[in-house]
């Protein structure tokens, strides 16, 4: 028999509406992750490479052998984030990982980027009641995101793609393209 926490996490990760703001099962998980992010961003010096890596390995669901995430870094749960080999994220990465966020190998993310799996209903009553949904994000191998890129719920970005600075990615982006804009769209193929 599933626990109430398992039921709430299952709802959260399956795209169903769930109570994100007042749920006694999920709020302690959010608080624990916030504490780890605070420790990472405020207590660990940049020179404490081994300690920073150990904290992130304990926080994230899966990591490659080699990765670097510059401080500050923020996420909601951590356990829903999977990063591949040779992952690099520059300053101020935000990942709202209510659903799975899978990031491939050799992915580089510039400063001030966000990956957001969470969304809210358009209906004001449900939104004010704290309801939320989440859809997974997948980023392929060899992807580079320029500064200020924001990836919305449910998006997949294909392998070998570059997302230009300032882009808002609301739809899937195919492999092997340069994509830019708001909304982000492929501009041309790249090798």
State the pLDDT confidence band at 102, using cuts at 50, 70 and 90.
very high
What is d(CA 99, CA 186) in angstroms, rounded to the nearest whole number?
25
132-144 mean pLDDT: 98
pLDDT score recorded for residue 174: 98
Average pLDDT over residues 90-106: 98
What integer pLDDT is reported at residue 114 of this predicted model?
A: 98
Question: Mean pLDDT over residues 41-70, rounded?
Answer: 97
State the average pLDDT for the chain.
96
User: Pick the catalytic residue: 120, 150, 171, 191?
Assistant: 120
- The arithmetic mean of pLDDT across residues 151-178, rounded, is 98
Q: How far apart are the first and last CA of the chain?
A: 51
Rounded Cα–Cα distance for residues 26 and 139 (Å): 26
- The predicted pLDDT at position 63 comes to 98
Phi and psi at 188, nearest 5°, equal -165, 160
The stretch 185-189 carries a mean pLDDT of 98
The pLDDT tens digits of the residues spanning 67-96 come to: 999 999 999 999 999 999 999 999 999 999
12 neighbors 18 (Cβ within 8 angstroms): yes
Q: Per-residue confidence at 191, pLDDT binned at 50, 70, 90? A: confident
pLDDT for 75 equals 98
DSSP 40: I
Comparing 24-28, 36-40, 141-145, 171-175, which segment has the lowest mean pLDDT? 24-28
What is the pLDDT averaged over residues 123-146?
Answer: 96
Indicate the pTM of the whole model: 0.96
Distances in Å between the Cα of 92 and the Cα atoms of 120, 121, 131 are 23, 27, 27
Q: Which CATH architecture has domain 4-189?
A: 3 Solenoid (2.160)
C-alpha dist (Å) from residue 15 to 12, 33, 56, 57, 116: 6, 21, 26, 26, 13
Burial class, 6, CB count within 10 angstroms (exposed 0-12 / middle 13-18 / buried 19+): exposed
Active site residue 191: no
The C-alpha atoms of residue 22 and residue 32 are separated, in whole angstroms, by 16
């Amino acid at each position: 028999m599933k626990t109430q926490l398992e039921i709430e996490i299952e709802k959260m990760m399956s795209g169903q509406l769930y109570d994100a703001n007042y749920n006694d099962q999920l709020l302690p998980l959010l608080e624990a992750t916030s504490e780890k992010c605070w420790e990472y961003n405020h207590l660990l010096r940049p020179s404490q490479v081994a300690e920073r890596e150990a904290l992130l390995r304990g926080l994230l669901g899966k990591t490659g052998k080699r990765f670097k995430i510059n401080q500050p870094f923020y996420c909601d749960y951590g356990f829903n984030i999977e990063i591949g080999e040779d992952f690099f994220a520059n300053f101020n990465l935000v990942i709202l990982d209510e659903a799975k966020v899978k990031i491939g190998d050799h992915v580089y993310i510039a400063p001030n980027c966000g990956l957001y799996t969470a969304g809210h209903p358009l209906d004001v009553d449900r939104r004010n009641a704290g309801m939320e949904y989440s859809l997974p994000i997948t980023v392929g191998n060899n992807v580079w995101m320029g500064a200020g890129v924001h990836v919305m719920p449910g998006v997949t970005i294909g392998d070998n793609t570059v997302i230009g600075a300032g882009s808002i990615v609301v739809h899937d982006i195919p492999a092997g393209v340069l994509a830019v804009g708001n909304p982000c769209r492929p501009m041309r193929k790249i090798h």
